Amino acid sequence: MDDDIFDYDAWKDSCQQKYNLTPNYNWAVDQFGGKHNYSQEFRQYSNIIFSNSQLDPWRGGGVERYVSDKIYTFNIEGGAHHLDLRLPNNDTDPESVKYVRGQEASIIDGWIYAYQPRPVNPNPPPPPVPPMDEEEQQFFQK
């Protein structure tokens, strides 16, 4: 890339010199797909949430479009890098982050429930006591 300010060759030389490794800049795309058509390349995957934030410098490498009904994508307006995954702060978190955080929790809860349904309580509480009729009320008032 002639107009790219990142010097791939200099970085590669530095990695080879310091770590005796050669960076593979396309590893993630080669390994997991996503270079051409997300819906085709990711069709065998499930239970993934891609959240991208408007202020995230990594957003350009994120999945921002619909993939499938088993893979969710969220584009968070006003969010920063993985703000939806941090400890909630109701005073400072944008409403968009609060909303997506709730959606993510609900989706993950559904995955857990689908994998391991909640057991039925073996000791259910006793049924409620029916109200007393008039004769019983008079008996207890004596």
What pLDDT, on a 0 to 100 scale, did the predictor assign at position 14? 93
What pLDDT, on a 0 to 100 scale, did the predictor assign at position 1? 46
List Cβ<8 Å contacts ≥24 apart for 101-110: 103/72, 103/74, 104/49, 104/51, 104/72, 104/74, 107/49, 107/72, 108/49
Sequence ranges of the domains in the chain: 36-117
Please, what are the averages of pLDDT over each run of 10 residues along the chain (142 residues)? 73 94 84 72 87 84 83 89 87 92 93 83 77 72 63
Q: Is 52 exposed, middle or buried (CB count within 10 Å of its CB: 0-12, 13-18, 19+)?
A: buried
- Angstrom CA distances, 39 to 42, 45, 49, 63, 70, stand at 6, 10, 14, 11, 11
What pLDDT, on a 0 to 100 scale, did the predictor assign at position 141? 67
**What is the phi/psi pair of residue 22, to 5°?**
-110, 120
Angle, vertex CA 97, rays to CA 92 and CA 103, nearest 5: 140
